[in-house]
Amino acid sequence: MKQKKHTKKDKKPAYKKTSQKEENKTMANEIKQNGKGFSEAEIAVHWKEEELIYPPSTFVAQANMADPKVYERFSEKKFPECFKEYADMLTWDRYWHTTLDTSNPPFWKWFVGGKLNASYNCVDRHLQQYKNKAALIWVPEPEEESDAVITYQELFVRINEFAALLRDFAGLKTGDRVTFHMPMVPELPVSMLASARLGIIHSEVYGGFSGQACGDRIQDSQSTVLVTIDGYYRSGTLIDHKANADIAVKRAEELGQKIDKVLVWRRHKGQYASKSPMVKGRDFFVDDLLKEFKGARVEPISMPAEAPLFIMYTSGTTGKPKGAQHSTGGYLSYVAGTSKYIQDIHPEAVYLCMADIGWITGHSYIVYGPLALAATSVMYEGVPTFPDAGRPWRIAERLNVNIFHTAPTSIRMLRKAGPNEPAKYNYHFKHMTTVGEPIEPDVWRWYYYEVGKKEAAIVDTWWQTENGGFLCSTIPAIKPMKPGSAGPGMPGIYPVIYDENGKEIERGSGRAGNICIRNPWPGIFQTIWGDPDRFVKTYYEKYCKNKNSKDWRDWPYFAGDGAMEAEDGYFRILGRIDDVINVAGHRLGTKELESACLTVPEVAEAAVVPVVDEVKGRVPVVYIALKPGYENEGEKIAQKIVATIESVIGKIARPKNIYIVPDMPKTRSGKIMRRVLSAISNRFNVGDVTTLANADVVEKIRVLVQGKDKVIVEKAPEDLEHFGEEK
Ligand code: PRX
């Protein structure tokens, strides 16, 4: 495709003079005219720059970080020593001797020689000053049920007792892995911090994932103990969660990993909410066992900074989930520092993050970051719109929440269900965060004006499971907000955009490419659990300048996102460049979904592509080719596929549609053309298909999906325009 030449002259009018509506029209016309669509660079030129909005002066006056010199302190000249500023927010048992060890790239080591304990840093060290202050306030989903207010002292007691149980009953020791399959209940942070106290590596699997998905992760991490709960509330229903544990244990065992003990917390002490029986000798109620450990105290084990703290699984382009292994010292320093400067968390803060602890956001910014700073972290059990779209604002009003954190998908959902709800409640946020996916400027404005009542500074934080904490964001008291843009690199994070061939795209040029981070930082994950080769290959190989070099400058981190940098140094994230779908702010591997479909015996081939969804951002659509002889059973098979996806991965992956097609569009070498299926699903132009082995099937599929009417060409969202392209 011919690229338009960019000069400053032709860029300016597109930024300044054209409205977004006009641009979309022009773009659609041009797509129609040339029939080929735009290159990423051209899209960027058509991107309308939003107006800057400055934080309220009341916010600036009280902010933890309002000194613009922070960027200089964290400049490349001061790297890596600049990160001492974050590490010094923690209490170290032994101070480190080497800030960054680069002797084995890209396996960076931070704060080498240092020793500390994460549980101690999040709880014990606050007791003297804050023992009677709320550490966690848990809000159950049923509104008639009372909140649980857990003070730092109470949290300390619970962590110690559960740590004693893990050690003395479950037989776990430093370095072992333990899997949690827990929803949003306070027993989850208790379990995490009890493990951390002993240096046991925890691996929390998102509660909404299926038993089978949990089993796969148990096997990968070689855990011998599973911690779960009997049930929890979701949209007014008490879910039978223990049933998943049985499936998980069975699945792990089939894969060769035996679970010795299943520790079952109970949602209501003494009552069992599940229909699945407890297995004798394997399953134990935690509340029963804890009676034995009343008053137990467990010394926090002093861990090397480099000891793994936890594993968090994330989706990749191949089926197998990747266990992102995070360190103790580097990770905790990074989340403490970013919670303080970017989230503006003070010990007096009442902070509500509506993410789930089963995702990295919850680990970093519900548990470890806020607790390291002695804040009050509010956890909500259920669905944000239950029983109505006023729920989060009622919680905020009652608990006097002053910092709020959520994802665009929830913001869209809350806006759709209750656009005028926030105004009905008397709460005041000083600060709000958005995370997980690009936020449309229009949605951003609702968040700012309606939810934040124009009183709050907003940060749009771009980062990933692998990163531990934020990579791009504004510092809220220093930089103005720009709707739809994450902002500049964080202090000490030096982003760069490369083209496919490794050539650096001119800074501030507004041209899109692959965003990378030039330097290591303390929150970066250490490796993929059990698969260092895949770690190097996935994140460092593409843009490595010299494999033999021990200089970090030769090893940029490849994030896998498309992005552009505007003249003012703000980055706008365009979405994933690999075959991963971002559903409600979380990554799902298309290959993982496809493998699930292929377990249905009637299915010959499966292809999964993302489509735009008003609320969730992107959702999967499934294309299926059946084995001969099953053509007439389409509907029944589609239902089977939905059930299979839900049981293999979880409800989060439920497809929007399933299309049974006569044949998949294929290249001559037999590769399924997901790009074509994505274009059809999203009503983009399918482009040139003449090189396909079976070009005639494309129109058949188009009619099946879109009906006979001609394609309506709309502006393709940037992340979807290149989905499934051969690389
Ligand atoms: O594509 C980016 C998108 O979410 C991906 C990371 O997903 P996950 O590892 O599940 O972590 C989500 C929460 C940290 C990224 O590769 N993403 C995350 N934050 C943003 C974003 N896209 C645009 N803007 C963001 N603020």
pLDDT tens digit sequence for 95-128: 999 999 999 999 999 999 999 999 999 999 999 9
Answer yes or no: is pLDDT of 11 > 70. Answer: no
What does the pLDDT read at residue 511? Answer: 85
Nearest CA to ligand 1 atom 11: 464
pLDDT of 10 strictly over 50: no
β-strand pairing of 586-589 with 580-583 = antiparallel
Question: Are the C-beta atoms of 461 and 472 separated by less than 8 Å?
Answer: yes
Using alpha carbons only, give the angle 320, 326, 330 rounded to the nearest 5 degrees: 155
Is the CB of residue 467 below 6 angstroms from any atom belonging to ligand 1? no
Range list of β-strands (E), 113-230: 115-116, 134-139, 148-151, 177-180, 201-204, 225-229
Counting from 1 in the atom list of ligand 1, the atom nearest the Cα of 434 is: 26
pLDDT score of 7 more than 60: no
For a mutational test of ligand 1's pocket, the pick from 444, 463, 471, 587, i.e. the residue with the most ligand atoms closer than 8 A to its C-beta, is: 463
Provide the pLDDT for residue 78: 98
Give 618 Cα–ligand 1 centroid separation in angstroms: 13
Is the pLDDT confidence value at 193 over 90?
yes
- The H or E element spanning position 160 is helix 152-168
Mean pLDDT of 342-356: 98
Identify which has the larger pLDDT, 726 or 140: 140
Instruction: Pick the closest to residue 401 from 372, 440, 433, 362 (CA basis).
Output: 433
According to the model, what pLDDT value does residue 725 have? 65
Distance of CA 155 to the CA centre of its chain: 26
pLDDT of 487 strictly over 90: yes
Tell me, what DSSP letter sits at residue 60?
H
Cβ of 514 closer than 6 Å to ligand 1, yes or no, is no
Instruction: Check if the beta carbon of residue 658 is closer than 8 Å to that of residue 624.
Output: yes
Pocket test for ligand 1, best of 326, 587, 588, 720 (most atoms within 8 A of CB): 587
pTM above 0.75?
yes
How high is the pLDDT of residue 47? 53
pLDDT at 712: 67
Task: Give the residue whose CA is nearest to atom 15 of ligand 1.
Answer: 464
**How far apart, in whole angstroms, are the C-alpha atoms of residue 248 and residue 264?**
14
How far are the Cα atoms of 447, 451, 457 from residue 422, in angstroms, in the given order?
10, 5, 16
**462 alpha carbon to ligand 1 midpoint, in Å?**
6
Nearest CA to ligand 1 atom 7: 464
| Distance from residue 616's CA to the centre of ligand 1 (Å) | 13
What is the token pair recorded at 340? 């303080």
User: Within 13 Å, how many C-alpha atoms sit on residue 298's CB side?
Assistant: 30
Residue 554 CB–ligand 1 contact under 6 Å: no
SS (H, E, C) 15-56: HHCCCHHHHHHHHHHHHHHHCCCCCHHHHHHHCCCCCCECCC
Ligand 1 atom closest to the Cα of residue 576 is 1
Q: Can you tell me the mean pLDDT for 348-355?
A: 97
Pocket of ligand 1 contains residue 464 by CB under 6 Å? yes
- Distance (Å, rounded) from C-alpha 466 to C-alpha 175? 20
Q: How far apart are CA 384 and CA 348, in angstroms?
A: 25
Which one has a higher pLDDT value, 355 or 9? Answer: 355
Rounded to the nearest angstrom, the distance between the alpha carbon of 496 and the centre of ligand 1 is: 17
Measured distance CA(541)–CA(532) in Å, rounded: 12
pLDDT exceeds cutoff 70 at 173: yes
Q: What is the pLDDT of residues 421-441, one digit of tens each?
A: 999 999 999 999 999 988 888
The predicted model gives 138-161 an average pLDDT of: 98
**Measuring from atom 12 of ligand 1, which residue has the nearest CA?**
436
- Percentage of residues of the chain with pLDDT beyond 70: 91
- Where b means 16+ CB within 10 Å and e means fewer, 426-438 reads ebebbbbbbbbbb
Q: Which one of 573, 579, 616 would you pick to mutate in the ligand 1 pocket, going by the greatest count of ligand atoms within 8 A of its CB?
A: 573
Residue 5 has pLDDT above 50, yes or no: no
Minimum CA distance residue for ligand 1 atom 21: 437
Expressed in angstroms and rounded, the spacing between residue 617 Cα and the centre of ligand 1 is 12
Q: What is the mean pLDDT of the chain?
A: 90
* pLDDT exceeds cutoff 50 at 9: no
User: Is residue 339 lining ligand 1, measured as CB closer than 6 Å?
Assistant: no
Mean pLDDT of 567-594: 84
Q: Higher pLDDT residue, 454 or 714?
A: 454
CA of 460 to the centre of ligand 1 (A): 10
Q: What residue owns the CA closest to ligand 1's atom 19?
A: 436
Distance from the CA of 307 to the center of ligand 1, in angstroms? Answer: 26
pLDDT confidence tier of residue 614, bands split at 50, 70 and 90? confident
Reported as a pLDDT band with limits 50, 70 and 90, residue 613 is confident
pLDDT score for 612: 87
Of 288-297, 596-605, 710-719, the least confident? 710-719
Per the structure block, which two tokens stand in for 111? 């704060």
**Average of per-residue pLDDT across 5-25:** 36
Residue nearest to atom 10 of ligand 1 (CA): 586
Q: Supply the residue whose CA is at minimum distance from atom 18 of ligand 1.
A: 436
The predicted pLDDT at position 672 comes to 83
Tokens of 349: 């803060």
What separation in Å is there between the alpha carbon of 493 and the centre of ligand 1?
16
Report CA(433)–ligand 1 centroid distance (Å): 13
Residue 384 · residue 414 · CB < 8 Å = yes
Query: Which three-class secondary structure state does DSSP give residue 621?
Result: strand
* H/E segment holding residue 379: strand 376-380
The Cα 346–Cα 349 span in angstroms is 5
Whether 61 has a pLDDT exceeding 70, the answer reads yes
Question: Quick check: CB of 322 below 6 Å from ligand 1?
Answer: no
Band the pLDDT of 293: cuts 50, 70, 90. Answer: very high
Tokens coding 375: 């804040």
User: Which of 582, 583, 586, 718 for a ligand 1 pocket mutation test, highest count of atoms within 8 Å of Cβ?
Assistant: 582
Spatial separation of the C-alpha atoms in residues 408 and 262, rounded to whole Å:
36
Rg (the chain; Cα; Å): 25
Residue 725 makes CB contacts below 8 A (sequence gap 6+) with: 675
Residue 312 has a pLDDT of: 98
Beta sheet of 322-327, edge-to-edge order: 283-285, 261-265, 225-229, 177-180, 201-204, 308-314, 322-327, 527-528
Residue 227 has a CB neighbour count (10 Å cut-off) of 28
Q: Is the CB–ligand 1 distance for residue 316 below 6 Å?
A: no
Q: What is the pLDDT of residues 655-706, one digit of tens each?
A: 999 999 999 998 776 778 888 999 999 988 888 787 788 889 999 999 999 9
Give the ligand 1 atom nearest the CA of 473.
26
Q: How many angstroms does the Cα of residue 470 sit away from the middle of ligand 1?
A: 10
SS3 63: coil
In the 3-class helix/strand/coil scheme, how is 71-120 assigned residue by residue?
A: HHHCCHHHCCHHHHHHHCCCCCCECCCEEEECCCCCCCEEEECCEECHHH
Residue nearest ligand 1's atom 14 by CA: 464
620-646 burial, b if ≥16 CB within 10 A, otherwise e?
Answer: bbbbbbbeeebeeeeeebbebbbebbb
pLDDT in tens, 698-717: 999 999 999 887 766 667 77
